[in-house]
Amino acid sequence: MSSSRDTFSPHSHIPYGADGSGFYSDNTIGCYNVILESVPLVLESVKSASVKPGSVFTIADYGCADGGTSMSLLYACVKELRKSYGDDLPIHVIYEDQPVNDFKSLYFRLEGLIPGPESYVLDFPQRVRHNMRHKLLQSVSASSVCKLGIFLHCPTLAA
């Protein structure tokens, strides 16, 4: 007997292309370019954040898909944080998407195992951790994850 907790209805965005192939971002240059345009704006937010000693800087990417379209933005954020606060600041990047998402490609992109934008994990490995979630925050609307939902927060670690 199944309950509503056992069922999951995927949203309209079902991953296409072979699992682990990075197909989404390799074929979505338009989204990549739009997100790239947002780098100066997001960096202003990063620079204006109040970072207290001992805090963790958390960045969440809602509706991340395979992470390729936001990789350069997150790279720029991590680079800026390292420039401003050095290697000691812990940075936590949370990737959120549906359970059916191609998280395998995201892992591969972060580890540089498929070609694409440079991974901040490889270039700034000190005290950067990342994880992948489903239903991180229920209040985030589907329309926001279908575009770009980047959330910057310090000092609280959303665990």
Ligand X SMILES: C[S@@+](CC[C@H](N)C(=O)[O-])C[C@H]1O[C@@H](n2cnc3c(N)ncnc32)[C@H](O)[C@@H]1O
Interface residue list for ligand X (CB under 6 A): 11, 13, 28, 31, 63-65, 69, 97-98, 101, 142, 145-146, 148
User: 91-96 and 128-133 as β-strands: parallel, antiparallel, unpaired?
Assistant: parallel
CB 7, min distance to ligand X, A: 15
Residue nearest to ligand X (CB): 63
**Max CA distance (Å), the chain:** 55
Nearer CB in complex with ligand X: 51/140 = 140
Nearer CB in complex with ligand X: 61/92 = 61
Cβ-Cβ contacts under 8 Å for 4 (sequence gap 6 or more): none
CB 10, min distance to ligand X, A: 8
Nearer CB in complex with ligand X: 21/55 = 21
CB 134, min distance to ligand X, A: 7
Handedness of CA 119, 125, 127, 130 (dihedral sign): positive
Peptide bond into 155 cis (omega under 30): yes
Other C-beta atoms within 10 Å of 77: how many? Answer: 23
How far is residue 127's CA from residue 45's CA, in Å, rounded to a whole number? 21
CB 59, min distance to ligand X, A: 13
Nearer CB in complex with ligand X: 89/136 = 136
